[in-house]
């Protein structure tokens, strides 16, 4: 994605922005990796903006920013809109004819001019951007409701710095400053921080998805702008109508994200990513795109017999698309290659094979500038029948509930997932089973007491839920911190590769449709997707159940003596202030396959600390 950054100084009406040349150069340098197609710098009294341009498509883009329609309100940021035609029809209904070749940035400004802030709230797509009103000296920052694109900011002494790149804020401040101990505590307890606005740096904040930031007269305000709605169930007379509606939205969600220059699909052997690949290939073949659709997959050969790579290759052959396979079996967990690269990770990330991930993005970046993923399919399409059946009973539709249950038993020969326990995939993301894990005894006593870590641990063990009548867990996941955290982890800042990752199944139009579906039968084991993709994917793939990783590669490497955690590891001073490394090594020695992952959190945090220290040392 393109990079942007800015500094706004309250009450500065003198010549230029008042930003020192050395400081300006540091900020520009931190976003340069995002934009190989152009670097821009813009200065007016009290404001200084930077932009680095990455050309992707498929929609026209404004390559020079900030951009204005009237010289009064200026846009700076990264924008990719869905539903451009529908948006233009809304303009026509208001008597405004906008050219079909308008860039997404132009459409945003037109929406703001015609509909005001509600026009921004109603936009579909992935975006983080600011609007600078030069007359009123007012800056507003926006982030889409999904959180597909990051937005960070820091307000201090009447100055606001902002960017989609955390390191640019650090550069604007001279350094990242003091670390946020609440963030660090959450990370050590669960592998991530559940408070969306916090970053690893105490003074730097992230704009929560669906919110707007306003800075004017030295005052900063943040408020909610939009949220995923709870809508009435969708009732069709014929089952084919559900399938056709899904196919229409799925086609649009992939088409709006697929550049003419092609894309790489991050593909497993599962149903979600292969469906995205199949639709992308169909669109490319039908529209004569100049670029090709290719795929990248990962397996853990030769460490164990991992079928994932072969399943993905089978689909690639069926679709007649090239595929690249990464073999992770010989990779060592928590490799210091990331540290040696001198490229600091934006924030800690509990991924033992992070170096492999970075290498994968670099390799994918040579194939295309846009990657498509199958993320998001599990949330709704692996639904739970319990809330749905309960809702039918509450509505007096007892026979409808009985019939739905009997029909499932007849067709599937087993009870449906009733949602009485949280799914294992959510457990994994929330710390590999944090609700059943013991409190990590290796947290230093003084640090734990200062942060009241045990009480916080109990709070973090609560399962995500919501008041959605049919999809309570899915709605909670889609509106909470889960997906913004996942999507930020796919941002270019994690690899230094100028490419953009897009998720068709998290298209807001698609998500709103899926949340309205009757859970039975459509959300039982992805029945909707399996039926919609019939003929587009191999039958074996359509019949394949949701398949977890066959074995835990880290546990295998430890149990086979191929990797020994701890040992003579030289810990950073910061980690030793938080973790009793002696107790940690004892816990690791006693760990079984289920407990090892949680006990390795200090390793990933230490990896991040060292990467940042190395970067600061280089500078």
Tokens 């955390």: give the residue: 166
Residues facing residue 537 across a β-bridge: 534
Q: Is the pLDDT of residue 339 over 60?
A: no
User: Are residue 92 and residue 220 in the same domain, yes or no?
Assistant: yes
Q: What is the C-alpha to C-alpha distance for residues 231 and 225, in angstroms, rounded to an integer?
A: 18
In a domain, 433, yes or no: no
Does some domain include residue 207? yes
Tokens of 590: 């006693």
Q: Looking at residue 384, what is its pLDDT?
A: 76
Residue 184 confidence (pLDDT) above 70:
yes
Tens of pLDDT, residue by residue over 346-387, are: 999 999 999 899 999 999 999 999 999 999 988 887 877 777
Q: Token pair for residue 237?
A: 């007379």
Please check the confidence at residue 432 and state whether its pLDDT lies above 60. Answer: no
- Quote the tokens at residue 328: 């992770």
The domain spanning residue 179 has which CATH number? 3.60.20.10
Least confident of 193-197, 344-348, 541-545, 580-584: 344-348
- Residue 264 and residue 208: Cα distance in Å, rounded? 29
Q: Which residue has the tokens 């990657």?
A: 371
pLDDT category, 16, cuts 50, 70, 90?
Answer: low
The β-bridge partners of 44 are 47
**Phi first, then psi: what are they for 204, rounded to 5°?**
-100, 135
Per-chain mean pLDDT for the chain = 90
Residue range 167-190: average pLDDT? 91
Domain stop point among 543, 565, 588: 543
Do 536 and 561 belong to one domain? no
Omega of the bond leading into 50 within 30 degrees of 0 (cis): no
Instruction: Please report the sign of the dihedral spanned by the C-alpha atoms of residue 600, residue 605, residue 607, residue 610.
Output: negative
In the predicted structure, residue 160 carries a pLDDT above the cut 70: yes
What letters, b where the CB count within 10 A reaches 16 and e where it falls short, cover 481-517? Answer: bbbbbbbbbbbbbbbebbbbbbbbbbbbbbbbbbbbb
Indicate if 37 and 171 belong to the same structural domain. yes
Take residue 89 and report the two structure tokens written for it.
């029809």
Here the tokens at position 157 are 């002494």
* Boundary (domain end) residue, out of 543, 565, 585: 543
- Tens-digit pLDDT profile for residues 63-83: 999 999 999 999 999 999 999
> Which pLDDT does position 146 carry in this prediction?
96
Q: What's the pLDDT score for residue 461?
A: 86
CATH number assigned to the domain comprising residue 506: 3.40.50.620
The confidence score (pLDDT) of residue 14 equals: 55
Decide which of 543, 566, 595 is a domain's last residue.
543
Residue 618 has pLDDT above 50, yes or no: no
- Residues 278, 144 share a domain: no
In this prediction, residue 423 carries a pLDDT of 33
* Whether 60 and 156 share a structural domain: yes
Give buried/exposed letters for 76-107 (b at 16+ CB in 10 A, else e): bbbbbbbbbeebbebbeeeeeebeeebbbbbb
pLDDT in tens, 243-283: 999 999 999 999 999 999 999 999 999 999 999 999 999 99
On whether both 497 and 519 belong to a single domain, the answer is: yes
More confident residue, 61 or 413: 61
Are residues 334 and 479 both part of a single domain? Answer: yes
Q: Taking residues 308-334, what's their average pLDDT? A: 94
| Alpha-carbon gap, residue 520 to 542, rounded angstroms | 18
Supply the pLDDT for residue 337.
67
Cβ–Cβ under 8 Å, residues 128 and 107: no
Tell which wins on pLDDT, 489 or 436. Answer: 489
Domain presence at residue 283: yes
In a domain, 189, yes or no: yes
Closest CA to 327 of 292, 293, 294, 363: 363
**Mean pLDDT confidence for 314-323:** 97
Report yes or no on 360 lying in a domain.
Answer: yes
**Do both 43 and 139 map to the same domain?**
yes
Give the SS3 label for residue 545.
coil
pLDDT (average), residues 468-485 = 92
Query: Does residue 436 fall inside a structural domain?
Result: no
- The pLDDT score that the predictor gives to residue 617 is 63
- pLDDT tens digits, one per residue of 588-604: 999 988 889 999 999 99
Q: What is the pLDDT of residue 593?
A: 84
pLDDT for 418: 62
Asked whether residue 299 is domain-assigned, the answer is yes
Residue 619 is predicted with a pLDDT of 41
Torsion sign (Cα): 285, 289, 290, 291: negative
133 lies in the same domain as 109: yes
3-state secondary structure of 375: coil
Residue listed under structure tokens 């200062």: 450
pLDDT in tens, 283-307: 999 887 767 899 999 999 999 999 9
Per-residue pLDDT band for 10 (boundaries 50, 70, 90) equals confident
83 and 25 in a common domain:
yes
Question: 426 vs 196, which has greater pLDDT?
Answer: 196
List helix spans (H) across 129-219.
166-173, 181-190
**Max Cα-Cα span within the chain:** 77
Asked, for residue 458, whether it belongs to a domain, the answer is no
Domain residues for 357?
Answer: 239-379+466-543
Count of structural domains, the chain: 3
What share of the chain has pLDDT > 90, as a percent? Answer: 70
Whole-Å CA distances, 59 to 249, 333, 590:
18, 40, 55
pLDDT at 379: 83
| Residue 323: predicted pLDDT | 97
Res 430: pLDDT: 37
Verify that 315 and 172 share a domain, yes or no. Answer: no
- Structural tokens at position 434: 């944090």
pLDDT given for residue 421 in this prediction: 40
What pLDDT sits at residue 420?
Answer: 45
Q: Is there a single domain that holds both residue 596 and residue 501?
A: no
């Amino acid at each position: 994605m393109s990079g942007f950054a800015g500094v706004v100084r309250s009450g500065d009406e003198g010549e230029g922005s008042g930003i020192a040349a050395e400081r300006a150069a540091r900020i520009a340098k931190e976003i340069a990796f995002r934009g190989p197609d152009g670097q821009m710098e813009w200065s007016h009294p009290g404001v200084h903006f930077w932009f680095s341009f990455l050309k992707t498509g498929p929609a026209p883009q404004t390559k020079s920013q900030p951009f204005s329609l009237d010289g009064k309100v200026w846009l700076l940021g990264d924008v990719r809109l869905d539903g451009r035609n529908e948006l233009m029809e809304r303009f026509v209904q208001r008597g405004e004819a906008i050219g079909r070749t308008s860039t997404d940035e132009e459409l945003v400004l037109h929406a703001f001019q015609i509909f005001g802030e509600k026009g921004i709230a109603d936009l579909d797509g992935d975006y983080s951007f600011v609007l600078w009103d030069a007359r009123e000296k007012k800056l507003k920052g926006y982030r889409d409701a999904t959180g597909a694109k990051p937005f960070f900011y820091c307000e201090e002494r009447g100055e606001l710095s902002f960017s989609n790149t955390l390191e640019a804020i650090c550069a604007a401040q001279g350094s990242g400053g003091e670390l946020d101990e609440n963030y660090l505590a959450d990370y050590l307890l669960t592998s991530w921080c559940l408070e969306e606005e916090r970053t690893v740096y105490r003074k730097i904040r992230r704009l929560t998805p669906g919110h707007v930031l306003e800075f004017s007269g030295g005052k900063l305000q943040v408020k909610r702008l939009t949220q995923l709605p709870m809508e009435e169930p969708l009732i069709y007379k014929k089952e084919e109508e559900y399938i056709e509606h899904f196919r229409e939205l799925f086609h649009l969600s992939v088409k709006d994200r697929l550049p003419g220059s092609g894309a790489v699909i991050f593909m497993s052997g599962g149903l979600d990513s292969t469906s995205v690949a199949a639709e992308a290939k169909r669109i490319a073949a039908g529209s004569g795109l100049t670029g090709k659709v290719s795929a990248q997959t990962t397996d853990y050969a030769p460490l164990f017999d991992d079928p994932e790579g072969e399943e993905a290759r089978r689909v690639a052959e069926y679709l007649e698309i090239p595929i690249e396979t990464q073999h992770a079996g010989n990779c060592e967990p928590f490799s210091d290659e990331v540290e040696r690269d001198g490229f600091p990770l934006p924030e800690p990330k509990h991924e033992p094979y992070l170096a492999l991930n970075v290498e994968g993005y670099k390799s994918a970046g040579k194939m295309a500038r846009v990657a498509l993923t199958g993320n998001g399919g599990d949330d709704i399409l692996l639904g739970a029948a319990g809330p749905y059946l309960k809702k039918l009973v509450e509505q007096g539709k007892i026979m409808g509930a009985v019939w739905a249950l009997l029909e499932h038993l007849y067709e599937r020969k087993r009870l449906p997932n009733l949602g009485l326990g949280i799914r294992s995939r959510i457990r994994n993301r929330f710390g590999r089973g944090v609700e059943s894990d013991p409190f990590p005894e290796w947290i230093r006593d003084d640090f734990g007491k200062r942060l009241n870590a045990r009480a916080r641990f109990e709070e973090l063990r609560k399962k995500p839920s919501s008041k959605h009548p049919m999809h309570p867990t899915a709605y909670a996941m889609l509106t909470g911190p889960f997906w913004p955290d996942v999507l930020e982890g796919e941002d270019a800042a994690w690899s230094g590769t100028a490419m953009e990752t897009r998720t068709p199944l998290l298209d807001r139009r698609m998500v709103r449709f899926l949340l309205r579906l009757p859970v039975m039968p459509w959300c039982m084991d992805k029945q909707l997707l399996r039926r919609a993709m019939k003929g587009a994917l191999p039958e074996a793939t359509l019949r394949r159940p949701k398949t977890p990783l066959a074995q835990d590669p880290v546990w295998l490497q430890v149990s086979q003596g191929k990797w020994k955690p701890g040992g003579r590891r030289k810990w950073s001073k910061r980690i030793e202030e938080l973790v009793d490394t002696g107790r940690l090594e004892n816990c690791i020695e006693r760990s079984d396959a289920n407990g090892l992952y949680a006990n390795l959190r200090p390793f990933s945090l230490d990896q991040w600390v060292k990467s940042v220290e190395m970067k600061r040392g280089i500078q």
